[in-house]
Each structure stands twice: as structure tokens, then as C-alpha cells.
Structure 1
Amino acid sequence: MINLYDVQQLLKRFGIYVYIGKRLWDIEIMMVELKKLHDNGLILDDEYLPAILILKQEHRKEEEKEQKS
């Protein structure tokens, strides 16, 4: 898993499509959905941990971008 697109593809495998319209909010909802999948045992740590790290990194980038504007 390398980027946000890969995380979206992981969620898509479970029929989860996230589009709210604001990238920061999309990332936050993806985090919630990933946690639910992991808590219910549908994805294991080897998929969950890289995905959540990518989402945290993207979230940080979006927050920095918003602060600059």
C-alpha cells in the first residue's frame, strides 16, 4: 500500500465509497471505516496499519495546506 488511492481500493473491496466533497473530511471518514473493518476482523493488521498510516500522513498534509491558505 503506497498512497490514498490504494486505501480507497481497499475500502472499495468492501463496497465502501467515500466522497463528501472535502478531501480532509473524506480522509477522516476513511479512517472511521477502516477502524470498523479492523475491529470487526474483516481486515488484519498487515492491511490496517499501512492504510491508517497513509491516511494520517494525508490528513496532516491537508491540514498544513489549509493553514497556509
Structure 2
Amino acid sequence: MVTKPRILYEKGVIKKIATQVGVTEATVRLALRFATEGEQPDLIRKVALSEYGCMLQRKPVNIPVKNI
């Protein structure tokens, strides 16, 4: 089964992380959804998990199968 990771957070955390790391709120949201890759998104995820009590969740993804 294929899973897609994402980080769950409470209200107000996005703004705090954005201020701390020095990026926009949109950048934080994309990083927490694993929509971006690199050093900066990795740092954002690390801060969210270690300092703000956010949780990593793996959501199952349905991949449509085409019959040939």
C-alpha cells in the first residue's frame, strides 16, 4: 500500500514557524504537506515536529489500476 506523509498541526503554528524560520506561511504549508523538497522544507518539518508538537501522519493513497 502506498502512503503519503503529511504533518498535522494546531491552529496558529504555521505563522509561528514562518516567523521563526523567516519564510512565508505558504512555504510552511507546502513543506508540511511534503509538496516541496530540499534543505529549507526539511528544516521546517524538523522545527514543526520537535518544537511545536506536530505529528507525522501517513495517509493511504488509492492508485487507480487500469485493466489492459
Could you tell me the TM-score, scaled by structure 2's length? 0.36
Could you tell me the TM-score, scaled by structure 1's length? 0.36
Which structure has more RCO (C-alpha within 8 Å, separation ≥ 6)? 2
Q: Which has the higher helix share?
A: 1
Larger radius of gyration: 2
Q: Which has the higher strand share?
A: 2
